[in-house]
Amino acid sequence: MICQSYEPFFKTLADPTKLEIINLLSKGPLCVSIIAMKLGFEQSRVSHNLKALADLHFVTALRKGKERIYALDEKVVMPILKLIDQYVERYDKHMCKCKGIPWRRRA
């Protein structure tokens, strides 16, 4: 049976804002305001999106003073990146002019 959870799982990955956050965090953990600054997003927007990411275990949070440091949960994110690679490898080579969001090179 398909779990209800698949829908939010993939919806998250379909959202550019969340993908950009994932991408940024792939370089290392950061607090909310830094993420907001680096991406040029509003603080509340970042918080809302981080909450969604955390609900799905894409990221984890820990306190540090007043700040909250968010980090990727690699165990979840890496398989996703691998999946993307497989798909792109097979069908979207030509689309990889890769205008748009910056991203790591293939593993």
Cα 38 from Cα 35, distance rounded (Å): 5
Cα dihedral 44/47/52/53 (nearest 10): 140
Both tokens assigned to 52: 């969604």
CB of 90 to DNA, least distance (A): 22
Question: Which C-beta is closer to DNA: that of 5 or that of 44?
Answer: 44
Question: Which of these segments, 30-38, 43-51, 59-67, 74-82, binds a second copy (CB under 8 A)?
Answer: 74-82
- Tokens encoding 95: 């689309």
Give 72's strand partners: 59
Q: Is 95 in the site for a second copy (CB under 8 A)?
A: yes
Count the residues of the shown chain that bind DNA, applying the rule CB under 7 A: 26
* Phi, psi of 94, rounded to the nearest 5 degrees: -65, -25
76: three-class secondary structure by DSSP: helix
Among DNA, a second copy, none, residue 80 binds (CB under 5-8 Å by kind): a second copy
**Which of a second copy, DNA, none lies near 2, with the C-beta cut-off 5 to 8 A by kind?**
a second copy
**51 sits near DNA (criterion: CB under 7 A):** yes
Window of 41-49, 71-79, 87-95, 98-106 that interacts with DNA by CB under 7 A:
41-49
